[in-house]
């Protein structure tokens, strides 16, 4: 009987150790997935958020990008050629302009797929962005592609672009 109890305690200790290891040292895919959730949360703001809150969210959003990052936006069906933002300063300016000009914004990333590079220092993320601006009931849907890179131990976006789809 004592042997069975000791064996059960050993198994429980091993399982607890494995769980703690996964909590304190998560897989890179999980870290990038969490960063994508943080990106959506940073880009989302409510109509009653103060300007200070919006500036804080814009700075949190920009902190997820590498200094040399690029954002390439071409909204499908808009008939426009698109826009490119290069570097954190341009991204910050665009984020602040959007956060002050829109009454509210809700961003969600659906169907997030994370593929880690062979070097385990880069990751490609494909997802669908669901964006609702203001208090409208309708929302925009756009396929997105993100390239993440591990910089000084932190995962940062080096490129974000909309995916051209058939319309």
Domain span at residue 108?
27-162
Judge whether 91 lies within some domain.
yes
The pTM assigned to this predicted structure is: 0.81
Q: Specify the DSSP element, H or E, that contains 27.
A: none
Judge whether 120 lies within some domain.
yes
Judge whether 95 lies within some domain.
yes
Question: Tell me, what CATH number does 128's domain have?
Answer: 3.10.450.50
User: Could you give the CA distance from residue 27 to residue 120 in angstroms, rounded to a whole number?
Assistant: 10
Query: For 95-137, what is each residue's pLDDT tens digit?
Result: 999 898 999 999 999 999 999 999 999 999 999 999 998 777 7
Q: Pairing mode, if any, of strands 154-162 and 105-116?
A: unpaired
Judge whether 74 lies within some domain.
yes
Judge whether 116 lies within some domain.
yes
Look at the chain and report how many structural domains it folds into. Answer: 1
The answer to whether residue 80 scores a pLDDT higher than 80 is no
Angle at 163 between CA 160 and CA 167, to 5 degrees: 150
pLDDT score, position 65? 96
Beta carbons of 159 and 150 less than 8 angstroms apart: no
The answer to whether residue 81 scores a pLDDT higher than 70 is no
Query: For 82-97, what is each residue's pLDDT tens digit?
Result: 789 999 999 999 999 9
Judge whether 83 lies within some domain.
yes
pLDDT score, position 76? 55
pLDDT score, position 42? 94
């Amino acid at each position: 009987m004592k042997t069975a109890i000791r064996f059960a305690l050993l198994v429980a200790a091993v399982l607890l150790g494995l769980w703690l290891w996964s909590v304190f040292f998560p897989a890179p895919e999980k870290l990038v997935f969490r960063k994508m959730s943080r990106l959506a949360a940073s880009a989302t703001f409510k109509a009653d958020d103060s300007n200070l809150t919006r500036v804080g969210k814009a700075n949190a959003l920009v902190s997820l990008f590498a200094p040399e990052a690029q954002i390439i936006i071409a909204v499908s069906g808009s008939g426009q050629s698109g826009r490119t933002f290069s570097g954190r300063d341009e991204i910050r300016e665009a984020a602040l302009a959007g956060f002050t000009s829109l009454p509210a914004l809700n961003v969600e990333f659906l169907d997030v797929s994370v593929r880690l590079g062979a070097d385990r220092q880069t990751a490609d993320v494909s997802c669908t962005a669901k964006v609702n601006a203001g208090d409208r009931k309708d929302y925009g849907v756009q396929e997105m592609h993100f390239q993440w890179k591990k910089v000084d131990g932190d995962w940062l976006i080096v490129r974000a672009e909309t995916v051209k789809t058939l319309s």
